[in-house]
Amino acid sequence: MNYCASPYFYQRRVTREIVIGDPARGGVILGGQHPPVKQSMLTCDTMDTALCVQQTLELVAVGCQLVRITAPTVKDAANLEHIVAELRKEGCLVPIVADIHFKPEAAMEAIKWVEVVRVNPGNYADSKKFAIKEYDDAQYAAELRRIEEKFTPLVLEAIRLKRCLRIGTNHGSLSDRIMNRYGDSPLGMVESALEFARICRKNNFHDFKFSMKSSNPKVMIECYRLLVARLDELGPDWNYPIHLGVTEAGEGEDGRIKSAIGIGSLLCDGLGDTIRVSLTEDSPHEIPVCTDLLALVPQLVNTASRVADTAFPFDPFHFERRSTPEIALNETINCGGEQLIRVVVPRATYDKVAPKIRPKDDVRPEAVYEDLNLAEIDPTQDFEINCETQLVTVKDGVNLPAITAFRLLAARLKRLGRNNPILLKDCLTFEPVPLAPNIALLQAGVVLGSLLADGIGDAILIRGESGAGLSLRLAFNLLQAAGCRSFKTDYVACPSCGRTLFNLQTVTARIKTRTEHLKGVKIAIMGCIVNGPGEMADADFGYVGGAPNKINLYVGKQAIKFNIPEAEAVDRLVDLIKEHGKWVEPELK
C-alpha cells in the first residue's frame, strides 16, 4: 500500500476533475492537470452582508480562487443568498463554499445559494458527547443507516442543483462512534470520510473532494497519505481531488512553518488539488503564502533524474524516528539515539550570534558545520561506510533536490545495514542571490519538515536564510513546529471566521504576552466550540469561546471553568495554569 509511485521522483497524482461554478465565468476546475486552487475563509459575521462582500472582494483582489463562509445556523445559510447576489452585482464570480457543522438543515439551505458545501462527518449527523461505548457490528450498521438517512438528502440536492461537496474530517472532531472503533487516529479520520463518500457514490454523485486536517503537521501528513493509499486500493475511479491544509496553524512565522511542513511536503509528493493556509491573521495574508508555496514546490522536486530504487526508507503511515546510535557532535553535545534533533550552523553564523548568547538562552548553536567529523556522500553513487558512529550528510552539488537526496541517502544506508546519524540541509547549493526571508522560511519548512516528518534526520543545518540570527531562530522554530523539540510555549490558534466569539488576533496577542515564557506548555486558543475542545488535540490548556463575551477554559479536552467574562478570562487561564503546576514566573529582562 503506497500513497505515491516513488518517494524519489515527482509525479502528480491523477485525480478526476470536478467543476465548481462556471469556469468561463469565474468558476474553477479542481483536479486533472489543473494547478492547485488557492482558497481562504471570511472572518466576519455571516449576517453582515456588506462586510462579507467586502472581505470576499479583498480576497479575490490578492488571488483567492475559492472563498469559504461559515453557516452555523439556517438563518446564516439563508443570508448566503444575499451575499452571493451582491457579489454577482459587483461582477465578482468567485465560487463560494458554505462551511457547515452540526446542522444538516443549514446545509440544505446553503446548497441553494453556493457552489460548494463543506460538511464535517464528525458532527454532521452526530452530536459529540465524548461518550465511551462499544458498538457491535449490528449497532454499527444501524448507525451507518442513520447517517445515510441524514446525509442523502444533501447529496440528492447537490445532484439536482449541480453543486459540489467537500467531505472534511478534522483531527479531534471525530464522532464518538468512530472514536470508539478507531480512536482519534489517521485511520479513524479516513474511515469517517469514506463512510460519507460511499453514500455519495451510492447515489452516483462524484462531485466531491476530501480533506484531512490537523494542527499537527505530522498527523496531517499521515492522514492524507493513508487516505490516498486507501482510495487507490478501492479502485481507479476513487481518484477524488484533495484539499490540503494544516488547521489552526497559528500566526506569524510559526503558522507559516507549520503550513510549509504539512502542505509543502504533500505537494512535493504530488498530492493536492486545492490548498488553504490557515493563519490567525487577516485572511488576505494567507493567499501570498499559498502563492509562494505553489511557486516553490517545482524547485524542490525531482522531475529529471530517474532513481531506480523505489523502496521507501520510512513507514509513510506511522511516524517513527529513524533508529541511530548516539554519537558526539562535539565535546559537549551528542546527537542521534534518543537525543534531541540538534541545530548546526555555519562558522560565519556562529561568529555573529555567539557573542550575543546568554547563559540561559535556549536558542543557541549546538555545533559548527565546518568543525564536524562529517562524511559527505553522493547517494547516487556507490559508497561505503565502515562504522555507524560516523555522522553523514549529502554532499553539496549533488544533482538532486534535497528531499530526494536525503531520502535516497537513508535508503542506501538501510540497504548497507547502516544506521548512521544524518545531518539534514535545507539546500545543497548556495544561491548567488540570497533568498528573501519569506521564501527561505518556506523552503526550510518544506525540505527539512518533510524529512523530519519521514523520521529522517538527527541534526539540521539552515543555509537558505542569510541572516545569522534569523537562521538560528528559524531552525528552532522549525523543530518546534515539526514536534521535534520544545523550547518555547506552543500555541494552537484557529483562524477567525463568522463563528468566532471573540477577536482571535487580539486575544491571542494578550495570551502570548502573559504566557510566552512557559517552555513546553501547549495552549489552544479556539474561537468557538466547533474548533474546540476536540480539535485542541493534545493541548495542555484551552481558551474557547462558549458564548458571546463568555469563555470556557479547558485542561486537555475537559472543560473546567465555564462562562467566564472575557475581560477576566486571560487572568483565569493563568490561574488555571498555576493550579496545575505548569506556571513559572517570567525572568526579568
Mean pLDDT of the chain: 92
pLDDT band at 536 (very low <50, low <70, confident <90, very high): low
Pick 421 or 558 by higher pLDDT: 421
Round to whole Å and give the CA distance between 532 and 499. Answer: 12
Pinpoint the residues of the chain covered by CATH 3.20.20.20: 18-300
Say which CATH superfamily domain 490-579 falls into.
Sulfite Reductase Hemoprotein, domain 1 (3.30.413.10)
For residue 274, the model assigns a pLDDT of: 98
Angle between helical axes of 437-453 and 217-234 (0-180°, round to 10): 60
Query: Which of helix, strand or coil describes residue 270?
Result: coil
Torsion angles phi and psi, residue 484, rounded to 5:
-95, -30
Output Rg (C-alpha) for the chain, integer angstroms.
24
For residue 132, the model assigns a pLDDT of: 63
pLDDT band at 530 (very low <50, low <70, confident <90, very high): low
pLDDT at 449 over 60: yes
Pinpoint the residues of the chain covered by CATH 3.30.413.10: 490-579
For residue 127, the model assigns a pLDDT of: 62
Cell 458532527 belongs to: 123
For residue 67, the model assigns a pLDDT of: 98
For residue 108, the model assigns a pLDDT of: 98
pLDDT band at 184 (very low <50, low <70, confident <90, very high): confident
For residue 442, the model assigns a pLDDT of: 98
pLDDT at 130 over 60: no
User: How many other β-carbons are positioned within 10 Å of the β-carbon of residue 131?
Assistant: 10
For residue 26, the model assigns a pLDDT of: 85
Class of CATH domain 18-300: alpha beta
Round to whole Å and give the CA distance between 224 and 229. Answer: 8
What's the mean pLDDT in 383-406?
A: 94
588 DSSP assignment = P
What is the percent of the chain with per-residue pLDDT over 90, rounded to a whole number? Answer: 77
| Grid cell at residue 464 | 537558505
Strand pairing report for 242-244 and 550-555: unpaired
pLDDT digits over 83-128, tens only?
999 999 999 999 999 999 889 999 999 999 999 999 999 888 776 5
For residue 520, the model assigns a pLDDT of: 87
What's the mean pLDDT in 497-509?
A: 86
Alpha helix locations (H) across 237-332?
A: 252-259, 265-268, 286-300
Pick 55 or 127 by higher pLDDT: 55
Residue from 174, 193, 72 nearest 130 by CA: 174
pLDDT digits over 227-263, tens only?
999 999 999 999 999 999 998 778 889 999 999 999 9
For residue 537, the model assigns a pLDDT of: 59
Round to whole Å and give the CA distance between 6 and 412. Answer: 15
